[in-house]
Structure 1
């Protein structure tokens, strides 16, 4: 099968891809670890660092919309964090039997103030 053959070849590249993504993540963390208005993603093990999550802190003088506009104007693609308040994904939730327990204020904050900048297997320095 063609897709299997391609996949096997791609898997050979995976260790280097992950290594480079982790190196990119270190650079990202060094650049943003003390940022006064952004909370950044932390390493929780051996992440492959698909991307970089940012949460705008309450004291920030700008909104997510303004930050997205600035990033986009400078050629940096970004998007909202995938999860946020998952209850807003009615099209997906209609297939699940679920119940909500407690407050969702953190999920709501993340939904409104979080964003994601992609990483890649090439050095970004």
Structure 2
């Protein structure tokens, strides 16, 4: 049993950090979009924050294992730069669709910054992988 925990530990921590970070950014983005579009009070903005952030957190804890396992499995393929970016575009489309499904008030605005951040992080993973393989 401890061997399994040692194997999944990096995935769990990376998933938690990434999911919590993108959930907070999604909630803040949704609240800012609501504040700009309407003259909502603090209570409404807080509800918007928790609706978008909580929705992202719930689904993100489950589906964010996909990028971690994908990167681990395909990082040595010839077209990792393309498949990695396409995988992350698909993940961001999934999360945008989920924001629509839970009827977030501003789904596109709430996912804009997390999408840019996650695509950037994926490209950093790709760059780091290529640097490791070229230096070896």
| Shared fold per TM-score greater than 0.5 | no
Counting strand residues as a fraction of each chain, which structure ranks higher? 1
Counting helix residues as a fraction of each chain, which structure ranks higher? 2
TM-score normalised over the length of structure 2: 0.30
Where relative contact order (Cα < 8 A, 6+ residues apart) is larger, the structure is: 1
TM-score normalised over the length of structure 1: 0.32
